[in-house]
Chain A
């Protein structure tokens, strides 16, 4: 099976702009989770979608939002970008919802905010 894919792989934006990141899960996987990875904070959970519904949400401001489509593909949107949003954004898919299911990570989208 093809692995998790993310597009784009790299993005450069300026403060105040918005950005949309895309994640295509492994075929048959219905859950997609998003994480922010920074050198100092490790992997921080943003949200999880399962069957087009947000099931869990991390401690991030409302500028971070997401959605999941009927084919399980997911998008993440960040509005009004801030310098601190610069990070590697990873998505991970799993067969079922929740932590007990192995997370298969994508290669990430590296976002740089200038």
Chain B
């Protein structure tokens, strides 16, 4: 089955700097890649997703890039702010009928 690895497990950045979180997946058939953000003590929420027919997607300060050849996708956060501090989970799915497989998460700390 699909396996998703996420790096780094923890990341600290200065406010205003950029943050990048990378995930690799094992099954080349995977075609859907969402990212969820979980603030401390709160529930995970979808922040952005990308399909395999798209190489990059942006939404204000966040963007996701996909490299199908290398089987990896990354979350980019620019101009980080303290409210970006959270655990970020990447996930992958092979099809609409299969469940999401999540990475183990990255704890991002934005230092003011």
Contacts and interface: CB of A to CB of B under 8 A. Distances in A.
Interface string A80-114: 00000000001000000111111101111000000
B100 A103 contact: yes
B71 interface: no
B93 A43 contact: no
Contacts, number: 64
Interface string A38-73: 001111110010000001101100000000000000
Interface stretch (B39-47, B55-63, B75-83): B39-47
Where chain A touches its partner, the secondary structure class is: loop
A45 B46 contact: no
Contact of B99 (A48, A90, A102, A108): A48
Contacts of B91: 43, 99
Where chain B touches its partner, the secondary structure class is: loop
B104 interface: yes
A24 interface: no
B43 A108 contact: yes
A22 interface: no
Nearest to A4: B43
19 contacts: A35-B102, A40-B104, A41-B104, A42-B6, A42-B89, A42-B104, A43-B44, A43-B102, A44-B102, A56-B98, A56-B99, A98-B95, A99-B91, A99-B97, A102-B46, A103-B44, A103-B46, A105-B43, A108-B43
Q: Give the 5 A-B CB pairs with smallest separation, nearest first.
A: A99-B93, A42-B104, A105-B43, A43-B102, A100-B96
Interface of A: 4, 33, 35, 40-45, 48, 55-56, 58-59, 90, 97-103, 105-108
